[in-house]
Amino acid sequence: MPERITLYTAKICPYAHRVEIALAEAKAQFTRYEIDLQNKPEWCPPSRTVAQTFPQTTPSPESVKLAESLVLVEFVADIFPESGILPKDPVQRAKARFFIEGVSSKLIPAWYGFLLRNAPVEDLYSALEYLQSLLPAEGFVVGEFSIADIAITPFLARARLALINDIGKYPEGEGKKIWANITSGKFARIGKYAKDLFARESFKVTFDEAHVTEALQKLFANLRSQ
């Protein structure tokens, strides 16, 4: 187990946010460095496929550097087993990972496609329909709050902000309606699930809504005119 953890992160980044939620669940002591993704330090990997999230055992060059949000969430679960975010039962663990797979392969591509390229909203609806079908009648994905809920929360939180503020490439004025569509009616279960996720203390203490709203506005303000 590392003696010290340093997390290089960015409030805007949904991937890095996963790790912050995991650390908050674990009540872990760590040093947090906010990185400006538009002006990254030299040592930060240039590729956008690599997360800006590295727990380090010490700040020295010899320190252990790890990346990739889902790897880091499980790393936190491994070194802080008392956090309870990794289900003890192997079946529940597999179910949590199965849900995460759906977030990665269905929800995230559909959301970014819609947000950035005005891809059909039906893709987003069908990804959410699929994930909703995996949810139990109430509570979190495997009952207790787990890695599965951590994987999706930052994306739902940013989708809400982008949609209620009408930020994105999709037609102007559609955002609020779409957020209402995906949280009520046939998506009422997702709506209740999102409320439960947003009420979680580990989410509340790690989400700077004003900062993320402003950052989304800055990043994506010109999308419709491009």
Ligand X SMILES: N[C@@H](CCC(=O)N[C@@H](CS)C(=O)NCC(=O)O)C(=O)O
- Binding stretches for ligand X (CB under 6 A): 13, 15, 37, 48-49, 51-52, 68-70
Q: Which helix (H) or strand (E) holds 23?
A: helix 14-25
For ligand X, the closer of residues 86 and 103 by Cβ is: 103
Provide, rounded to whole angstroms, the least separation between the CB of residue 164 and ligand X: 20
For ligand X, the closer of residues 70 and 197 by Cβ is: 70
Provide, rounded to whole angstroms, the least separation between the CB of residue 69 and ligand X: 3
For ligand X, the closer of residues 15 and 179 by Cβ is: 15
For ligand X, the closer of residues 68 and 166 by Cβ is: 68
Q: Give 38: exposed, middle or buried? Use CB within 10 Å, 0-12, 13-18, 19+.
A: exposed
Residue 191 in tokens: 């709506």
Residue 125 vs residues 27, 107, 129, 130: alpha-carbon distances, Å: 35, 9, 6, 9
Provide, rounded to whole angstroms, the least separation between the CB of residue 136 and ligand X: 26
Provide, rounded to whole angstroms, the least separation between the CB of residue 70 and ligand X: 6
Provide, rounded to whole angstroms, the least separation between the CB of residue 222 and ligand X: 17
For ligand X, the closer of residues 69 and 153 by Cβ is: 69
Task: State the sign of the Cα–Cα–Cα–Cα dihedral 128, 161, 22, 12.
Answer: positive
Buried b (16+ CB within 10 A) or exposed e, 10-21: bbbbbbbbbbbb
